[in-house]
Amino acid sequence: MTAWQIALVVVCPVTAAAIIAALIWLNNNLIAVTRYNVPFKTEREVKIVQISDLHGKSFGEHNNRLISKVFALRPDAVVITGDLIHEYSMKNILVALRTVAVLSAVAPVIYVSGNHEMRNKGYRRFKAALTEEGATVLDNSETEVCGITFAGLNGASNKNDAVFNFSKDPSSAVLLAHMPHHIERYARAGYALVLCGHAHGGQWRIPFTGRGIYAPGQGLFPKYTSGIHRVKDTEMIISRGLGNSEFPVRLFNRPEIVMITLVPKSCACADEGREFNKAKKSD
Ligand SMILES: [Fe+2]
């Protein structure tokens, strides 16, 4: 073997391994921001930042990279749509609670649980700690922030009819619900806008198709993994989320923060907002 052949045999696999490692790191750690404009019954523009499915992950020490990204968006409210923690370990909980505490200092934080919190024997204590850190925990209940009504389902109630029972006026409310695949029921309840997570973007996404491979509750090639969807009069936005659960690696599916701007329906810019959504910008 010549020196060149030896170099090729050694260098090519090492280079390929380095490229794959970098791709995997970027796909799991480089946070994308996706923006949507939604015409809404509101007097003024309201900016909502959605965080979902963190699963106890920390982007940088103390989640500082995630927190900086949220701060830069200057939200009027931050909503967390479940699976903030993955398993009940002190590490997960402390990271999550500190993140909520810091975010609460700049904007109201509204939280609903996901299926992971529901499995968690320590959820009651976690919920109390979230409230202490400044979050409003919605447990099949509503709150008003910046003139907008936010309704929230707990992680156990996505699958049942609780969504019909607590909102005074769903047609002018934002529903926070972890699971997107119950959209038909949320739409029957009449919510104007639903914010969901849970599907993790389908975990591995097929480039240029906008499709994911798998989501819990939907199986292979699921319909609801990301983006904006409309059923009857209900718009639903799905975050691809930030962390991972049982399956540890994302591919072509960067962790995502969603930024929703509620635009007054009377505003001339409302139609422009719909066009903007079609473009589905991420950065
Ligand atoms: Fe999740």
Residue extents of the structural domains in the chain: 1-30, 32-279
CB atoms within 10 A of CB 211: 16
pTM: 0.92
How far apart are the CA of 155 and the centre of ligand 1, in A? 11
Model pLDDT, residue 273:
62
How far apart are the CA of 257 and the centre of ligand 1, in A? 14
Residue 208: which residues within 8 A CB-CB, separation 6 or more? none
Distance of CA 187 to the CA centre of its chain: 19
Domain 32-279: which CATH class? alpha beta
Q: Which two tokens stand for residue 99?
A: 């993140």
Model pLDDT, residue 88:
67
CB atoms within 10 A of CB 100: 23
pLDDT in 10s for each residue of the chain, 283 residues: 787 777 777 778 888 888 988 888 888 999 999 999 999 999 999 999 999 999 999 999 999 999 999 999 999 999 999 999 987 677 789 999 999 999 999 999 999 999 999 888 888 899 999 999 999 999 999 999 999 999 999 999 999 999 999 898 999 999 999 999 999 999 999 999 999 999 999 999 999 898 999 999 999 999 999 999 999 999 999 999 999 988 889 999 999 999 999 999 887 666 666 666 765 556 6
Neighbours of ion ligand 1 (CB under 5 A): 53, 83, 245
How far apart are the CA of 30 and the centre of ligand 1, in A? 18
How far apart are the CA of 166 and the centre of ligand 1, in A? 25
The strand pair at 148-152 and 173-176 is best described as: parallel
